[in-house]
Amino acid sequence: MAPTAVLLLLVSTFLLLEFSQANECVAAGYGCVPARVCPRQHIKKKSGCSTVCCDLANVKTCAARGGECSPAQTRCLEAPELAATCGPRQKCCIYV
């Protein structure tokens, strides 16, 4: 095999491996969120996030589920089951 063909094969293999691991977090069923949103015990050691990989199925906070705590009178799509994580007179708003 010619040296250029070997080099091309090596580079292609390396890129394929890198690409397959790029979304390891999401492929495993987790999500990428800011570190402040994910409790330490739910952080997973998976690649593919510029933030942290988090097991969101076990994190039941407004921010972890992509919501934002807002005053109770705010008009928005609500996630009532997460309102308790926002505090008094607030609700969890999901902005699509």
Which residue ranges make up each domain of the chain?
22-59, 62-96
For residues 17 and 31, give the distance between their C-alpha atoms in angstroms, rounded to a whole number: 21
| Bridging pattern class, strands 68-71 and 31-33 | unpaired
| Residue ranges of the chain whose pLDDT lies below 50 | 11, 14-21
Residue found under tokens 């491996």: 17
Confidence (pLDDT) at 55? 93
- In this structure, CATH architecture of domain 22-59: 2-Layer Sandwich (3.30)
| Partners of residue 69 on adjacent β-strands | 92
CATH fold of 62-96: Anthopleurin-A (2.20.20)
| Bridging pattern class, strands 68-71 and 43-44 | unpaired
Alpha-carbon Rg for the chain in angstroms: 20
Prediction pTM value: 0.55
Structure token pair of residue 54: 């988090």
